[in-house]
Chains A and B, each alone.
Chain A
């Protein structure tokens, strides 16, 4: 039985540098980084040099590298599906794809097909779904998915650099965009991007609380400058509010709440990038509160540990159908929010 698995990274930006490399430094018994690919050859070489890996600028070079057992896709969102499909067809042992898994329904269909065709285990790096604090709450929440009637996600964050810079020393950081706020299509694209780039962390969690979303209806969608959104939608008989704001505050506040008549779930997540332990979840009723977490392991470490268990045959891989349903749900929210914003702007 192979005990250590070689990893190749497609994309060596801040997420690879400040999240995955420091996490994998804790997991040397299970993984070794063998190959780093980036479109910028200097970045690929510099990041590979930190971990003693090979480097290249093409997907093909990484997929042809026999030392790579597991492909980690950390490229821009629009490349995820294409690279995932190529990795599966290349006969790799597993693929870990950063969220979102896909950016269109057609891509989601193609991923479903390649999963059935190749059987390669696919994981999505939605770290909150692996977070021990969240999972403990799920194990104890009883009938909350059926009984909850109101769900709220609020994410208030400083710019990523505040955390990236204490997780590693980052190369090649992209500047924060300065779009034309007066263009409705720019706003629609920003809110779509907000859902697929930020809310995406927790939409799989919200989907666990929804019996259905085929009746999803966005009631209101607003883009909040400099970067944020407020989206209100109903689905499966529940009202769901998604709120986010990235500002210059030093204080992160990342909270998911679900309310039923007699139970409330409150989950406080730690910020990405830094290893600040797991979320803390609280399940409250009128006469008690049960607290889960914090654990020392955060969602990123948990997701890699779970991948190791899958590769060793100790754990079944996640259902690709569930992962694809997660991204279909996210796309449904993103598309409907963008359309609601367009209509509101035209009406105004």
Chain B
């Protein structure tokens, strides 16, 4: 959370009064915290890295942006163009995440769904193929019938990261997003018959990108402030449906 708050300092003109922005930590109690923030009259809220828990949407004028570790990266505007152009009929996308041991797989899967939503569209269904203490493998399908192979692998040897790869008939689109806690840029590479193109790198972390989005939504004056929460709610439902039985089984064994 402190990383997110300190990012405000990089937007002194957009947010001259930092107190105007309320940050809600995405730990499992976030729905109650979010409700409190909304009822307090906050005009802009950043929900940071939410865990997948059930929640009710509140009708209010408050604008809420969801700061998700991979989906908030500023590369995703360019990445969406590249992946959507390449995702022809029958396409498959690999979505791989490296995370430290002990990470919550439900949250990690929710983060992946948010990323796929950002670059390709919402994932309508996920089926978990294998789940252990250290890895998860699952398969999903987007609303445009793009198959997605999800994997989550635990290690401390590598920094957290997310990577996407879509193999085409004559090349690929590959995206690697580093941990959003620094401004280390994502790498988006499109390979085609004429060569490989690295998209311009953007040294802006996902937190700052989320804050800019909040500012832009506030500036429009007529933005749908709950749109990101509705999308989050749909991904929470998909995550819970995919993992619910598996997590219950594992907890029962323990």
Contacts and interface: CB of A to CB of B under 8 A. Distances in A.
Which of A150, A225, A234, A250 has most chain B Cβ within 10 Å?
A150
B220 interface: no
Contact of A262 (B137, B155, B169): B155
Interface string A229-268: 0101010000101010101111100000001111110000
Interface of A: 149-150, 152, 156, 219-220, 224-225, 230, 232, 234, 239, 241, 243, 245, 247-251, 259-264, 284-286
Nearest to B195: A250
A250 B171 CA distance: 7
Given A225-B90, A263-B157, 17 more contacts: A149-B133, A149-B134, A150-B134, A150-B135, A152-B151, A156-B167, A219-B137, A224-B92, A234-B132, A243-B94, A247-B169, A249-B191, A259-B134, A259-B157, A261-B155, A264-B157, A285-B157
B196 interface: yes
B129 A264 contact: no
Contacts of A250: 171, 191, 193
Contacts, number: 80
Which 5 residue pairs are nearest across A and B when measured between Cβ atoms?
A149-B134, A248-B170, A264-B157, A150-B135, A284-B157
Contact of A247 (B134, B168, B196): B168
Contacts of A232: 129-130, 137
B157 A230 contact: no
Contacts of A245: 167
B235 to A, nearest CB: 23
Interface of B: 90, 92, 94, 101, 129-130, 132-135, 137, 139, 149, 151, 153-158, 167-172, 191, 193, 196
Contacts of B135: 149-150, 239, 259
27 contacts: A149-B132, A150-B134, A150-B135, A156-B167, A219-B129, A220-B137, A220-B139, A232-B130, A234-B132, A239-B137, A247-B167, A247-B168, A248-B170, A249-B172, A250-B193, A251-B172, A251-B191, A259-B134, A259-B135, A259-B153, A259-B155, A260-B157, A261-B155, A264-B155, A264-B157, A284-B158, A285-B157
A152 B94 CA distance: 13
A251 B171 contact: yes
A234 B134 CA distance: 13
Contacts of B172: 156, 249, 251
Contacts of A284: 157-158
A239 B130 contact: yes
Contacts of B170: 247-249
B129 A262 contact: no
B156 A286 contact: yes
Most buried by A among B94, B135, B139, B169: B135
A96 B196 CA distance: 39
A154 B94 CA distance: 11
A290 to B, nearest CB: 12
A249 B135 CA distance: 30
A234 B191 CA distance: 32
A126 B134 CA distance: 30
A178 B154 CA distance: 40
A250 B170 CA distance: 7
A258 B94 CA distance: 17
Contacts of B171: 249-251
A247 B172 CA distance: 10
A156 B172 CA distance: 10
Given A284-B158, A286-B156, A219 B167 contact: no
A137 to B, nearest CB: 14
B157 A234 contact: no
A70 B90 CA distance: 48
A248 B132 contact: no
A234 B130 contact: yes
Contacts of A263: 155, 157
Contacts of A247: 167-170
Contacts of B130: 219, 232, 234, 239
